[in-house]
């Protein structure tokens, strides 16, 4: 297993193991996080573990043109069940994501260090949040990293039914011309129901590299 030093580098992709781990260690500095996302790598680890960096061989993504909106979700929008904002409550969104219950997951991977690191990226204009409101209460949302043509989604939460799903649909519909790809990282039934699908990692990298070559 490749252990990162203080040097601002990541190993070659052939270092990825069968689970999708490419490296361990390092830090959560803005420079390292930005480099990681430019390479399609992201951190995901438990609080008691060292930082674990991932590069899944099958990438779960949504092409905006494949967004699926069910009849029940169309009714949510017709009824104007929620209102939406962007970058108005980033820290509240990531904190709620850290506290959200995840099936088959013991505890949270969004540690205090992760929260502070991504709040720094938000202050730099790189990390962005979408907020979903109901009666002036924050009831859902998600956050991620803006990589130009690609939006790298990180985590979402919902305190009431359909809140995170509605926020995601509204976001994709609004920015379908800006983002060629929404990175959802790994499979979830929740996002699969909206049209997300798995693609090979080398195809995903083509989108990232094309974005950076502009």
pLDDT tier for residue 119 given thresholds of 50, 70 and 90 = very high
C-alpha closest to that of 64 among 169, 188, 134, 192 = 169
| pLDDT reading at 140 higher than 90 | yes
Q: How far apart are the first and last CA of the chain?
A: 34
Cα 196 to chain center, whole Å?
13
CA distances, 81 to each of 1, 13, 120, 162, 168 (Å): 48, 44, 32, 10, 14
Token look-up 């043509």 returns 149
Q: What pTM did the predictor assign? A: 0.92
Tokens found for residue 145: 């990293």
For 184-208, the pLDDT digits (tens) are 999 999 899 999 999 999 999 999 9
Strands (E) across the chain are located at 3-4, 21-25, 42-43, 52-54, 58-62, 83-86, 127-134, 137-146, 150-158, 181-185, 197-200
Number of residues in the chain: 214
> In whole numbers, what is the pLDDT of the chain averaged over residues?
93
| Distance from C-alpha of 57 to C-alpha of 59, rounded to nearest angstrom | 6
Structure tokens given for 153: 């989604």
Residue-level pLDDT at 1: 79
- pLDDT at residue 105 greater than cutoff 60: no
Q: Could you please report the per-residue DSSP string of 169-184?
A: HHHHHHTTTT-SEEEE
Question: Structure tokens of 159?
Answer: 């305190």
**Token representation of residue 66:** 């494949």
At what angle are helices 30-38 and 112-123 packed, to 10 degrees? Answer: 80
pLDDT digits (tens, 9 = 90+) for 37-66: 999 999 999 878 899 999 999 999 999 999
């Amino acid at each position: 297993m490749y252990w990162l030093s203080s040097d601002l580098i990541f190993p070659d992709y052939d270092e990825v193991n069968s689970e999708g781990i490419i490296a361990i260690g390092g830090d959560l500095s803005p420079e390292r996080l930005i480099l990681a996302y430019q390479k399609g790598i992201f951190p995901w680890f438990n609080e008691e573990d060292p930082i674990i960096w991932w590069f899944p061989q099958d990438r779960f993504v949504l092409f905006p043109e494949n967004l699926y909106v069910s009849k029940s979700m169309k009714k949510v929008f017709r009824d104007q069940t929620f209102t939406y904002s962007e970058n108005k409550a980033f820290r509240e969104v990531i904190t709620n994501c850290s506290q959200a219950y995840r099936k088959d997951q013991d505890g949270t991977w969004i540690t205090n260090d992760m929260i502070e690191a991504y709040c720094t990226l938000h202050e730099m204009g790189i990390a962005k949040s979408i907020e979903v409101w109901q009666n002036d209460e924050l009831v859902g949302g998600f956050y991620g990293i803006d990589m130009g043509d690609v939006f790298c989604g990180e985590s979402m939460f919902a305190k009431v039914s359909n809140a995170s799903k509605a926020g995601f649909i509204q976001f994709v519909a609004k920015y379908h011309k800006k983002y060629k790809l929404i990175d959802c990282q790994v499979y979830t039934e929740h996002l699969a129901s909206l049209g997300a699908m798995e693609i090979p990692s080398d195809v995903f990298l083509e989108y990232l590299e094309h974005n950076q070559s502009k």
